[in-house]
Amino acid sequence: MQKNKKPIDILFAATSDYLPYAIVTAMSAIEMAMGRPVNVHFMYADIVKPISDTERQSYFDRAKNTLAGVGAKIFFYDITELMPMLDGQNIGMWGRNVSLTHYFYLLAPIVLPKNISRAIYLDTDIIVNCDLSEVFDMKMGDKLLAMGAPRGFEEMGDDVSNSGFVMLNLNQWRKENTINTLLEFGKTVQDKRFCDQNLLYQYFTKAHPDRLMLVDKRYNIFPQLFPEMTCEEIKIMHFTGFYSHKPWLDATGRQRCSEYWWKYARQTAFYEMFLHKMIIASIPNRSRNNKRKHRSFWWHLRHMKF
């Protein structure tokens, strides 16, 4: 048990509609933390598609209730007003607004409270399968960043690092004003497919490797690409959509290790929503009318009296 230790701070940064998936990831990190406190930070800006205040608040409330049930706290940060800071960054294959969401987490040094000295950023399609204390407590010195894989997409070329798992040395970033230096550098990076990941490679792996700490690659593994590894051996499972369906959209179970994702999804207040999305996604050649019928069926199912 590690109840007396300093909390592990984990960070998510996305649009509000990704909060349910972040909570699944958070639940896995909390369970694996062996009783050590975990604080969850969610930075958001809804710049891709509209979401009503009512729907967003519903997500927030369900997230709070889920985490309160396991003794964890979540903090929300609306970073919409900071979006101009990201102007001029590499726009990848998703278009401007979606691409900019990939840079959100880099604003953490100026968004998170000053008493938070470091934070582990995680993508929202990840399951933590280890105690994050192993990396959170590492001595970083003047290293700015720790990553689980120097090259996450080897077959895509030699100009991309995977940012699904990174630990930010926030105190050092603040001391050196790294965010401004990095974003200025980012304006010189030609448009490439993977946005922030191309920036991390250019800045840390190529230009400043002495400021980068590399950790065991098992901290960022795409299960489909490493069939020789058992699920138990993977420290952090990254269910990237490039190689298979997301676990919440695949009713077949063909995604390796997807049972780990559903184990934690069942523990959240979003479980019915995930089931609904999976059912809709599993309908072959579905038309708009078929979708409407299945939504109606699902509504009636949920409201049946027993």
Q: What is the model's pLDDT at position 301? A: 45
**Pairing outcome for strands 38-44 and 8-14:** parallel
Q: What is the model's pLDDT at position 287? A: 54
Token pair 């050590």 is found at 36
Per-residue pLDDT reduced to its tens digit, 251-273: 667 788 999 999 999 999 999 99
Helix (H, G, I), strand (E, B) or coil at 185: helix
Q: Where are the domains of the chain?
A: 8-242
Q: What is the model's pLDDT at position 290? A: 56
Q: What is the model's pLDDT at position 281? A: 74
* Residue ranges in the chain modelled with pLDDT below 70: 1-4, 149-158, 242-244, 251-252, 284-306
* CA distance to 53, 164, 213, 276, per residue, from 121 (Å): 26, 7, 15, 28
Q: How far apart are CA 84 and CA 172, in angstroms?
A: 23
Task: Identify any residues that bridge with 39 across adjacent strands, giving them in sequence order.
Answer: 9, 73
Q: What is the model's pLDDT at position 304? A: 45
Ranges assigned E (strand) in the chain: 8-14, 38-44, 73-78, 119-122, 126-128, 145-147, 165-168, 212-214, 236-238
Q: What is the model's pLDDT at position 2? A: 64
**Is 150:214 a contact under the CB 8 Å cutoff?**
yes
Q: What is the model's pLDDT at position 302? A: 47
Q: How far apart are CA 246 and CA 299, in angstroms?
A: 24
Helix (H) or strand (E) run with residue 134 in it: helix 133-136
| CATH number for the domain whose boundaries are 8-242 | 3.90.550.10
Q: How far apart are CA 23 and CA 63, in angstroms?
A: 6
